[in-house]
Amino acid sequence: MNIEEARNELVELANTRIYFGKFKGKLLIELPEPYLVWYRGKGFPAGKIGKQLEQMLEIKVNGLENLIYPLVKK
């Protein structure tokens, strides 16, 4: 993956909304960390959204949210 592809993936991650559950419609960056930890214990969903939820947990655990917020399109 080159730098442009990685940037595009981060921008997409920053602007992805969850389409199910009690936080339906929220940006992934807006999901509370305990919810993501719960998913890790339960097992992330299959597919792209599962990968994105897992990535978001890593971002939050490592305190990198401030790198994602500027990428959110208003």
15-55 pLDDT, tens digit each: 999 999 999 999 999 999 999 999 999 999 999 999 999 99
Inform me whether the pLDDT recorded for 1 exceeds 80: no
Phi and psi dihedrals of 44, rounded to 5? -65, 150
Name the one residue in this structure whose structure tokens are 């655990």.
61
Query: What is the number of structural domains in the chain?
Result: 1
Q: What does the block give as tokens for 70?
A: 């500027």
pLDDT at 39: 94
pLDDT at 17: 97
pLDDT at 55: 97
- Whether residue 8 contacts residue 35, with contact meaning beta carbons closer than 8 Å, is answered with no
Q: What sections of the chain are H helices per DSSP?
A: 3-14, 33-42, 48-61, 65-68
Can you give the residue range of the structural domain that contains 62? 3-71
